[in-house]
Amino acid sequence: MKLMKSIMMTAALAMAAAVPIALPTTALAEPMPLVAGNYTSVSGIFVEDGANFTYAKYLADQWAKNQDFAKSKGWISDYKIYVNVDPRDGEPNIYLTQTFAEIPSGAESEKRAVEWATWRKKSEAEMDAESGDRAKFRTVKSSMLLQEYTVR
């Protein structure tokens, strides 16, 4: 009789335990309500006092041409310039964004660097020096990589 009670108790516990286990597995089968999308890189730029026109000229000319080239190659799908109208102390006053579908592999990044240098007709060293020249009137204060999620 004791053995029979033990078997019945074990069976009852097993059946009771099976019910809660069934509920979470049903929830796991449900798809994520958000769908991952494109990436957007955001660079926060601080422009030195008196250099707004100089930097705006650079953005409208060289930076925009570079972005248009990347867009023509399919490397990015969009780019934008945002001005922080009311920056708090220490915050960047310009944000530059680039939107793209995927992060390139190391090999793809190297291939793009060669294409970029060929298109610009400049060496990596020359392009790096130009970037250093811009440090006279602007400082990159921050960078972020965001990924868009939409509701399923």
What's the rounded mean pLDDT across residues 28-36? 89
Nearest-5° angle of CA 149, CA 151, CA 152? Answer: 115
Where are the chain's structural domains? 1-30, 34-151
Confidence of residue 151 (pLDDT cuts 50, 70, 90): very high
% of the chain residues with pLDDT over 90: 65
Residue 4 has pLDDT above 50, yes or no: no
What's the rounded mean pLDDT across residues 126-146? 87
> What value does the mean pLDDT of the chain take?
85
User: Which region among 35-49, 75-89, 114-128, 137-151 has the lowest average model confidence (pLDDT)?
Assistant: 114-128
Q: 26, exposed or middle or buried, with CB in 10 Å at 0-12, 13-18, 19+? A: exposed
For 104, the token pair is 């390139």
The pLDDT of residue 22 is 54
pTM for the structure as a whole: 0.75
Which helix (H) or strand (E) covers residue 46, if one does? strand 34-47
Q: How far apart are the C-alpha atoms of 37 and 105, rounded to whole Å?
A: 18
Please give the residue that has the higher pLDDT: either 125 or 8: 125
The pLDDT of residue 24 is 58
For the domain made up of 34-151, give the CATH fold. Answer: Alpha-Beta Plaits (3.30.70)
What's the rounded mean pLDDT across residues 29-48? 95
Q: How far apart are the C-alpha atoms of 78 and 65, rounded to whole Å?
A: 13
Cα atoms found within 13 Å of the Cα of residue 145, Cβ hemisphere only: 6
Residue 8 has pLDDT above 90, yes or no: no
For residues 93 and 51, the answer to whether their CB atoms sit within 8 Å is: no
